[in-house]
Amino acid sequence: MRVRVKDASERVVITGIGLTAPNGNTLAEFRRNLLAGRPNIQRIPMRYMGEVFAGVCNFDVLKYQKRKEVRNGTRAGSVAIYCASEALADAGLSLAGLDRSRVGVYIGITEHGNVETENEVYNISKFNYDTKFWTHHHNPRTVANNPAGEVTINLGITGPHYTIGAACAAGNAGLIQGAQMLRLGEVDVAIAGGVSESIQTFGIFAGFKAQGALAHHDDPNQASRPFDRDRNGIVVAEGGGLYILERLSDARRRGARIIAEVAGYGLNSDATDAVLPNPERQVECMNAAIARAGLGPEDIDLVSTHATATPQGDAQECEALRRVFAGCGTHFNNTKSFIGHAMGAAGALELAGNLPSLLDGIIHPTINLDNLDPACELPNLVAQRPAQVRRVRAILNNSFGMLGINSAVVVTACE
């Protein structure tokens, strides 16, 4: 399968996963609900808008933080701390036994600070906009590096930390950044992935509604409908997915369980429109990731699609997928149909839900796909129920974002 053999010292592997999603707070729970076809979308109140649909996480925020830390910090920070701590435990790593200056934290985000700013402006409006009622926690809450910084403070990590602003490609971008820093020798352990607190901001919902891109349906759990002829927009979700990345040689030396190898990745820009995707650039991004992995399109067994359930976005991604994987026998699925669009966390969560396929050969379905849009036809699109296949050895994970940023990550079973 592999076209070229890479030196083990530069190979990067996943040894731990920590996540929270609207339908699960561990990979086992998340995966179980994906295979069972169980989504979890709720109605929540939104200032100025009434009720909206959202994917809401329900993790134990006090498992790794004190009440004061939660109160003074951010929701994105709490999501990141929970996921980072769970990932370290899953990898069997204790920070007490590590050189904390050699641990890096790289977290992808779509946006950050809008929640806090909106809330504080609203609060001081009740006091005639007197700034003495503006919290002194505002600045550390809203700086762009906040979620990663909160992780380092909570865990006592002294290595590099920053966030990667990559719109809805951010979960993949965080993972890519962690892999690159390991290959450069800058760190020995990378905590990498993406988080999102987007359901708390009025602006996100209002913006999508103004675009005509906010989903509506009688049943919240059927509102997110990628590829379906009756799809009408995005369901906004929060969540987080962080990975422990190590060099293969280091992971083997300590006898770590190796979940998968980060074999290839691609990042590029459309350079055409702020919102509308460009399938030509998506094709180039996927091909770059596959080539970097030393594979051909025929070697990719499963593609985790980005499709957000917007009419044009889904159709254009499918056009790109048909061009890359024509005649390859590749399978395709989508996770947003279960949890909505988790923005900065989307790519990381969607990859996580598919990683167990490398072991069991079972592909979770795309749900809410009752009437396939002919423009979204894909061979081997897994819909409504799981598919048992002969094997899954390589997965390509797509995540695309506004302002024309595209990302694709290839993970493989580690040989």
Q: How far is residue 139 from each of residues 147, 278, 386, measured CA to CA in Å?
A: 13, 36, 46
Decide if 353 contacts 34 (C-beta within 8 A).
yes
Buried b (16+ CB within 10 A) or exposed e, 53-78: bbbbbebebeebbeeebeebbbbbbb
Indicate the pLDDT class of residue 139, thresholds 50, 70 and 90: very high
Tell me if residue 73 falls in helix, strand or coil. Answer: coil
**239 shares a domain with 275:** no
> Catalytic pick from 57, 83, 168, 285?
168
In a domain, 172, yes or no: yes
In a domain, 98, yes or no: yes
In a domain, 110, yes or no: yes
- Say how many domains are in the chain: 2
In a domain, 259, yes or no: no
**287 shares a domain with 222:** no
**169 shares a domain with 80:** yes
In a domain, 316, yes or no: yes
**221 shares a domain with 118:** yes
**284 shares a domain with 179:** no
Q: What pLDDT is recorded for position 3?
A: 40
**273 shares a domain with 233:** no
**240 shares a domain with 273:** no
Q: What residues contact 354, with CB distance under 8 A and at least 6 apart?
A: 302, 304, 333, 335, 363, 364, 395, 397
In a domain, 71, yes or no: yes
**63 shares a domain with 183:** yes
Indicate the pLDDT class of residue 392, thresholds 50, 70 and 90: very high
Q: What pLDDT is recorded for position 1?
A: 43
> Catalytic pick from 318, 341, 364, 376?
341
In a domain, 240, yes or no: yes
**176 shares a domain with 30:** yes
Backbone angles phi and psi of 245, in degrees to 5: -110, 140
- Across the range 171-178, mean pLDDT stands at 98
Indicate the pLDDT class of residue 208, thresholds 50, 70 and 90: very high
Active site residue 306: yes
Tokens 């009434």 belong to: 50
What percent of the chain stands above pLDDT 70? 98
> Catalytic pick from 112, 161, 306, 331?
306
Q: What pLDDT is recorded for position 10?
A: 84
Would the pTM of this model clear 0.85, i.e. be above it?
yes
What percent of the chain stands above pLDDT 90? 95
Q: What pLDDT is recorded for position 5?
A: 40
Q: In CATH, what number is assigned to the domain containing residue 311?
A: 3.40.47.10
**318 shares a domain with 205:** no
Q: Which of 218, 253, 288 lies at the terminal end of a domain, its last residue?
A: 253
- Across the range 9-13, mean pLDDT stands at 86
Q: What pLDDT is recorded for position 2?
A: 44
In a domain, 402, yes or no: yes
**268 shares a domain with 229:** no
**Tokens representing 163?**
């966030």
- Across the range 55-68, mean pLDDT stands at 98
Q: Which of 227, 253, 279 lies at the terminal end of a domain, its last residue?
A: 253
**268 shares a domain with 247:** no
Q: Which of 221, 253, 285 lies at the terminal end of a domain, its last residue?
A: 253
| Domain that residue 299 falls in | 264-412
Q: What residues contact 132, with CB distance under 8 A and at least 6 apart?
A: none
Give pLDDT tens digits for 343-371: 999 999 999 999 999 999 999 999 999 99
